[in-house]
Amino acid sequence: MQFIDLHRQRERIKVDIEVRIQTVLSHGKFILGPEIQELEQKLADFAGVPHCITCSSGSDALLMALMAWGIGPGDAVYTTPFTFIATAEVVALLGATPVFVDIDPKTYNIDPHLLETAVEQTERENKLRPRAVITVDLFGLPADYGAIEEIARRRSLPVLEDAAQSFGASVNGRRTCSFGTAAATSFFPAKPLGCYGDGGAVFVHDDALAAELRSIRVHGQGSNKYDNVRLGINGRFDTLQAAVVLAKLSVFPDEIEKRNRIARTYSEKLGTAVTVPHVPQGYESVWAQYSVLSRNADHRSELQEKLKKEGVPTAVYYPKPLHLQPAFKNLSYSEGDFPVSEDVSSRIFSLPMHPYLTDDEIDTICRSIAG
């Protein structure tokens, strides 16, 4: 059994992928070819926003958005410590300061009340300037945008939605990548909508911001390649990879349904043995991960060991919150600063999750845990 089985997906869309790749090989426009434009239009329509700018990775998508806002030294950017390193790394790469805010114990997403407290504290201390918020839709579940967008509006802070794990999820019918001022997603192969390499996209509502991002994506180009009006990066998405995402997009709505059906089965069968994921009213997750909470670290090891004996792979996202990572030791955080993130890190683990899990496989997994 595989944790994320991409072979089964490929079996389904093999012909479409091969035809689309052949088309790219024939027209030869490997850089920003026609598939890029087609994909950007389709992704923007899917998310319900006017602009999608594809790029080289989810990390670069985050970076490009912060660059467009001119984030730099002296700026405080608020985010959660319970996420993948990239979310906070891009902030530090620009010389700005990640300010961590603990998570909600049920959704594992940034706690809006604590966000407000953190911004107030920055203002009191008067060393950094509050500049932006990066929310993370962890494991595919959108953050609490109702509360976060309200706080951000009151304080004139742009919100960057890190939707690397949540493309395709929604809140009351509104899809992810439409929240905040800008959103970033990733097409890393293991994400819900992946390609066969690295890739990502930024989504924005504002026309001028979209134009800036397109410029940043190609070394800050102006009217042409050798007119450089700002600093940018080589952040383009490959045409070949766009062809792969286009093929996958055609089965994506069905895959989202399948993921949700599997998650429901897991939750029905596992609810008494472990703490299953909480999905607030009106929210639909896209289940980048199906993660459960064990009682404590020993219980987690015991369950992971049991599953391993049955041939079931598991993973821990994330074993160490970012405020305790050596890479951020200059921020001078210590153990105990974010108790919810630390507690969850010590007890959480993820089960195999992809649209092509069979009933037998789900049964094996659930019996190993709850049997």
Helix (H, G, I), strand (E, B) or coil at 142: coil
212 belongs to the binding site for ligand PLP (CB under 6 A): no
Which residues from 101-140 bind ligand PLP, rule CB under 6 A? 136
Helix (H, G, I), strand (E, B) or coil at 113: helix
Stretch that binds ligand PLP, among 22-30, 55-63, 70-78, 111-119 (CB under 6 A): 55-63
Q: Which residue has the tokens 């990733």?
A: 186
98 belongs to the binding site for ligand PLP (CB under 6 A): no
What whole-number distance in Å separates Cα of residue 258 and Cα of residue 152?
Answer: 35
Residues 69, 78, 82, 84: which binds ligand PLP (CB under 6 A)?
A: 84
Binding mask 160-179 toward ligand PLP (x if CB under 6 A, else -) reads: --x-xx--------------
Residues 200, 232, 277, 355: which binds ligand PLP (CB under 6 A)?
A: 200
Nearer to ligand PLP, 118 or 136 (CB): 136
Stretch that binds ligand PLP, among 29-37, 53-61, 250-258, 356-364 (CB under 6 A): 53-61
Six-digit token string for 254: 């069905």
What whole-number distance in Å separates Cα of residue 168 and Cα of residue 249?
Answer: 10
79 belongs to the binding site for ligand PLP (CB under 6 A): no
Residues 40, 198, 238, 342: which binds ligand PLP (CB under 6 A)?
A: 198
Nearer to ligand PLP, 131 or 191 (CB): 191
Beta bridge partners of 78: 99, 133
**Residue 68, CA distances (Å) to 111, 158, 210 in order:** 26, 11, 9
Residues 9, 57, 97, 239: which binds ligand PLP (CB under 6 A)?
A: 57
What whole-number distance in Å separates Cα of residue 94 and Cα of residue 83?
Answer: 19
The count of residues in the chain is 371
User: Around Cβ 185, how many Cβ atoms within 10 Å?
Assistant: 32
- Total residues at the site for ligand PLP (CB under 6 A)? 15
What whole-number distance in Å separates Cα of residue 15 and Cα of residue 17?
Answer: 5
Binding site for ligand PLP (CB under 6 A): 57-59, 83-84, 86-87, 136, 162, 164-165, 186, 188, 198, 200
